[in-house]
Amino acid sequence: MEKHLLSKSTFIRGSQCLKSLYLNKKRPFLRDRLAPEQLAKFRRGTKLGVVAQNLFPGGVDVRPRSYHQYAKKLLETQEVITSGSHDVIYEAGFQYDRLLVFLDILNKERGNWVGYEVKSALKISDTFLLDAAFQYYVITNTGLALKDFQIIYINKAYKFDGTLKLEELFIKESVLDRILPLQEFIKEKVEEEKATLLLEKSPLIDPGDQCTNPYPCDFIGHCWKKLPKEQWPEISYSGEEFYHFVDDVLKLVSEK
């Protein structure tokens, strides 16, 4: 199997800025050092994804432990689906047209597969929809039909009363009707991103609003270096209260 060119995170990176996509692949040494807040955010998201797996107990986990295991885990996913050995797969892997995704949860419901993506957030953003649309595009093009695709996120009205109730903590919301109309856009964007990765030089893109929206880019130090420091974008890690809430939830789960 040919090595993938885009994953869901690099696809989203390219949607934010093609130059960031290019630099990430060809000049990774130019990346800024990851802020501790960013690192904590990634770890929190991964841990919350594992907690949400408990909404669908009894699944088989095919999460790759490193990129060396990608091919093996893709095969394992296919084996589980073909054999019917499990109705729930965590981190199910799919590759189509050199696009790679590992879906948080794949669940068989009344004979039909449904995809779930877990987000450490209080609402569904446009970027989450793009991410979901990309995953749907890859998975269904491998030949697996998905009856539905849902995003799982945190219920901000949830009140902890001594017992952790996952069904109340998380909200599951179908986004199928919002990602189906995006499929043609995904196809075009994929081609644009793949073409960018073939360029000899990085695309000429001036620093601007895209540098912090939707995520702080990790090439700010490189792209903004000719501009006075006062003009550099301010990076805020807002939502501290929410992060404390998630940290408390994760602590509760680890104590169970």
Q: Which residues bind ligand SF4 (CB under 6 A)?
A: 17, 19-20, 23, 205, 207, 210-211, 217, 219-220, 223
Question: Which residue lies nearer to ligand SF4 by CB, 17 or 169?
Answer: 17
Least spacing, CB of residue 10 vs ligand SF4, in Å: 13
**Strands (DSSP E) found in the chain:** 6-7, 60-61, 88-96, 99-109, 112-118, 148-154, 170-174
Closest CA to 199 of 31, 1, 14: 14
Question: Which residue lies nearer to ligand SF4 by CB, 11 or 116?
Answer: 11
Least spacing, CB of residue 32 vs ligand SF4, in Å: 9
Question: Which residue lies nearer to ligand SF4 by CB, 4 or 19?
Answer: 19
Interacting residues of 169 by C-beta distance below 8 A, sequence separation 6+: 154, 155, 158, 249
CA dihedral 239, 37, 249, 91 (to 10 degrees): 110
Least spacing, CB of residue 106 vs ligand SF4, in Å: 32
Question: Which residue lies nearer to ligand SF4 by CB, 118 or 223?
Answer: 223
Least spacing, CB of residue 141 vs ligand SF4, in Å: 28
Least spacing, CB of residue 108 vs ligand SF4, in Å: 40
Closest CA to 160 of 45, 44, 256, 238: 256
Q: What b/e sequence results for 155-166 when a residue is b if at least 16 CB atoms lie within 10 Å of its CB, and e otherwise?
A: eeebeeeeebee
Give one DSSP letter per residue of 165-196, joined into a string.
-HHHHEEEEE-HHHHGGGHHHHHHHHHHHHHH
Q: What are phi and psi of 254, to 5 degrees?
A: -70, -20
Q: What are phi and psi of 247, to 5 degrees?
A: -60, -40
Question: Which residue lies nearer to ligand SF4 by CB, 15 or 135?
Answer: 15
Question: Which residue lies nearer to ligand SF4 by CB, 159 or 229?
Answer: 229
Least spacing, CB of residue 171 vs ligand SF4, in Å: 31
